[in-house]
């Protein structure tokens, strides 16, 4: 069988003749059969991107209650001690790039094609850079080096690492830890374990708004609730009954989403008011002009991004591990 724009036999009988005088139809759309879109990335930026600037990211944290107050009486001497109750958390910006290179001879030969080669390479560049960002968010190789952003596992799963300059191992810095990992016990995520994590991360009316897990864990967790599905006119196809939820379902106040990028056997309970990507306003998907090296007939450009994954309140998040 021929590959690309050639012909195959069958159905062609006059193969050489048809190769000489006929042309296949070329679809103008590029079909993605490689990349894994991330619902977490979408959800964390759907209400608009967060921008900042400066050489580093610094967050002032209230780390202790000031005890210089309370009931008093008459002429009692009042405590006016100065208390240093605010501590900085410091994150470094992380820089990412994605190169594009196209031989100019290919551009010349592409001039009558229905698909523009420069446009196609730009689309592949964008998707390739996005895939690197998503892998970095989940701490997946090869985008889990010391130069990559602080990841979801860094923020939400680990309780003994150093992040944003604060060592979580020491008891004095316990305020900077996420909730202790929930115990999946090698079984499907149960409502008992999920509820315990939701309650651990809830403070007043402020609660988890997003639960992320891979497709296998999501399917098993969803199956727990199928008996609760209501068979209404709006929930059914006119010709075939749908045995499940038409849309992503809620657990408490949290949207439950499957993300193929999420590490297996883990479920992340997140409050996205306090955990989100943040982008440097001066380097948000900027790009070089197309340039040609002096000794090559190749057009080269690079797209750049400076960003971080920020979390101003780790205690609002948790992770359940060891799930079936």
pLDDT tens figures, 47-76: 889 999 999 999 999 999 999 999 999 999
Q: How many domains does the chain have?
A: 1
pLDDT at 241: 55
**Of 253, 267, 156, 250, the residue nearest 215 (C-alpha):** 267
Q: Which segments within the chain are labelled E, that is strand?
A: 50-52, 56-62, 86-92, 94-103, 162-163, 166-167, 182-187, 210-213, 250-251, 254-258, 267-270, 275-287, 298-311, 318-323
Q: Which domain holds residue 53?
A: 40-58+88-323
> Cβ contacts of residue 294 below 8 Å, gap of 6+?
none
pLDDT at 1: 47
pLDDT at 230: 55
**Band (15; pLDDT cuts 50, 70, 90):** confident
Is residue 64 in some structural domain?
Answer: no
Is residue 285 in some structural domain?
Answer: yes
Instruction: Return the minimum-mean-pLDDT range out of 24-28, 127-131, 317-321.
Output: 24-28
pLDDT at 133: 97
**Of 320, 12, 35, 15, the residue nearest 181 (C-alpha):** 320
Is residue 48 in some structural domain?
Answer: yes
Is residue 142 in some structural domain?
Answer: yes
Is residue 24 in some structural domain?
Answer: no
pLDDT at 255: 94
Write down the mean pLDDT value for the chain: 91
Is residue 27 in some structural domain?
Answer: no
pLDDT at 12: 87
Please report, rounded to a whole number, the percentage of residues in the chain having pLDDT higher than 70: 93
Q: What is the mean pLDDT of residues 88-108?
A: 97
Tens of pLDDT, residue by residue over 25-49, are: 888 888 999 999 999 999 999 888 9
pLDDT at 95: 98
Confidence check: pLDDT of 223 > 60: yes
pLDDT at 3: 66
Is residue 309 in some structural domain?
Answer: yes
Is residue 25 in some structural domain?
Answer: no
Tens of pLDDT, residue by residue over 231-289, are: 555 545 555 555 566 667 889 989 999 999 999 999 999 999 999 999 999 999 999 99
For position 240, which CATH number holds? Answer: 3.90.1690
**Computed from CA positions of residues 231, 233, 236, 239, in that sequence, does the dihedral angle turn out positive or negative?**
positive
Q: What is the mean pLDDT of residues 190-217?
A: 96
C-beta separation of 257 from 218 below 8 A: yes
Tens of pLDDT, residue by residue over 176-189, are: 999 999 999 999 99
- Distance (Å) of CA 107 to CA 87, 102, 115, 294, 297: 56, 7, 11, 18, 11
**Of 280, 294, 296, the residue nearest 93 (C-alpha):** 280
């Amino acid at each position: 069988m021929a590959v690309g724009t050639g012909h195959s036999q069958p159905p062609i009988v006059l193969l050489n003749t048809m190769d000489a005088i006929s042309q296949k139809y070329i679809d103008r759309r590029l079909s993605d059969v490689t990349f894994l879109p991330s619902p977490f990335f979408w959800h964390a930026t759907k209400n608009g991107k967060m921008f900042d600037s400066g050489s580093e990211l610094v967050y002032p944290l209230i780390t202790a209650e000031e005890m210089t107050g309370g009931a008093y009486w008459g002429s009692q001497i009042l405590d006016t001690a100065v208390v240093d109750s605010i501590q900085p958390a410091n994150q470094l910006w992380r820089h990412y790039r994605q190169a594009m290179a196209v031989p100019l001879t290919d551009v010349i030969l592409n001039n009558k094609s229905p698909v523009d080669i420069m446009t196609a390479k730009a689309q592949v560049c964008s998707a390739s850079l996005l895939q690197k960002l998503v892998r970095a968010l989940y701490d997946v190789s090869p985008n889990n080096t010391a130069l990559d952003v602080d990841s979801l596992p860094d923020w939400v799963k680990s309780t003994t690492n150093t992040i944003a300059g604060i060592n979580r191992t020491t008891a004095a810095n316990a305020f900077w830890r996420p909730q202790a990992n929930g115990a999946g016990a090698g079984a499907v995520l149960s409502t008992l374990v999920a509820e315990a994590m939701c309650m651990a991360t809830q403070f007043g009316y402020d609660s988890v708004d997003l639960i992320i897990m891979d497709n296998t864990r999501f399917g098993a967790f969803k199956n727990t609730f199928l008996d609760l599905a209501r068979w209404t006119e709006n929930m059914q196809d006119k010709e075939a009954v749908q045995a499940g939820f038409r849309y992503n379902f809620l657990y408490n106040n949290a949207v439950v989403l499957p993300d193929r990028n999420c590490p297996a056997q883990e479920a992340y309970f997140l409050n996205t008011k306090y955990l989100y990507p943040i982008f440097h306003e001066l380097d948000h998907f900027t790009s070089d002009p197309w340039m040609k090296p002096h000794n090559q007939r190749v057009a080269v450009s690079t797209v750049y991004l400076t960003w971080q994954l920020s979390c101003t309140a780790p205690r609002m998040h948790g992770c359940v591990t060891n799930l079936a």
